[in-house]
């Protein structure tokens, strides 16, 4: 799932025009992404541990619900911060900002759907429960992979340079 971050950053290197300079915008976006990426990485690690831990299905369900809820909340926080960053004042800046917000929205929504699916799983039969969990997580991974913006039409040397140069993105 961390690979999604790289794809999202690629989606940022384009735009349409807007209000803030490329460097301040890139810095604000990276400041939004850094804690989000750390949280998602941590949550993914804990989810993997939950899948292999010796717990009851009810305990595993509770823990997994907490994890995907945390990922959903972290994604919404990052999305809101990117929205607050505004639009970079470069050609294609509007497209870049929208692509990033749309990607984070899709990630947030994928976690929401996973949470609702996990909530619906019965825990009485461990094998059925864990098969359901695997299906939910596979669907989450598939949805995550589809959240990448189409970067083929996005091209902004100003944003590329800004993301390469601002310390917040290193």
What is the rounded radius of gyration, in angstroms, for the C-alpha atoms of the chain?
A: 18
Ranges in the chain, pLDDT < 70: 1-18, 148-155
Distances (CA, A) of 49 to 9, 46, 85: 28, 5, 35
pLDDT at position 15, please?
36
pLDDT at position 4, please?
39
pLDDT at position 149, please?
55
Bridge partner residues of 88 (DSSP): 20
Percent helix, strand and coil across the chain, each rounded to 5?
Answer: 80, 0, 20
Distances (CA, A) of 165 to 31, 108, 138, 155: 14, 28, 36, 17
pLDDT at position 52, please?
76
Q: Quick check: 129 and 57 in contact, CB under 8 A?
A: yes
Residue 161, judged by CB atoms within 10 A of its CB (0-12, 13-18, 19+), counts as middle
In this predicted model, what pLDDT tens digit does every residue of 20-41 receive, in sequence order?
999 999 999 999 989 998 988 8
pLDDT at position 155, please?
67
Beta-carbon neighbour count of residue 37 at 10 Å? 19
pLDDT at position 65, please?
94
In this predicted model, what pLDDT tens digit does every residue of 58-72 receive, in sequence order?
999 999 999 999 999
């Amino acid at each position: 799932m961390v690979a999604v971050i790289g794809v999202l950053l690629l989606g940022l290197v384009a735009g349409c025009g807007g209000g803030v300079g490329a460097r301040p915008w890139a810095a604000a976006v990276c400041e939004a992404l850094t804690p989000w990426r750390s949280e998602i990485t941590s949550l993914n690690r804990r989810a993997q541990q939950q899948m292999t831990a010796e717990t009851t299905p009810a305990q595993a369900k509770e823990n997994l619900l907490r994890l995907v809820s945390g990922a959903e909340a972290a994604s919404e926080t990052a999305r809101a911060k990117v929205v607050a960053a505004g639009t970079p004042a470069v050609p294609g800046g509007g497209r870049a900002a929208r692509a990033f917000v749309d990607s984070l929205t899709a990630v947030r929504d994928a976690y929401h759907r996973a949470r609702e699916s996990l909530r619906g799983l019965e825990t009485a039969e461990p094998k059925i429960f864990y098969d359901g969990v695997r299906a939910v997580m596979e669907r989450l991974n598939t949805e995550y992979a589809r959240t990448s913006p189409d970067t083929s039409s996005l091209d902004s040397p100003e944003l590329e340079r800004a993301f390469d140069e601002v310390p917040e993105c290193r």
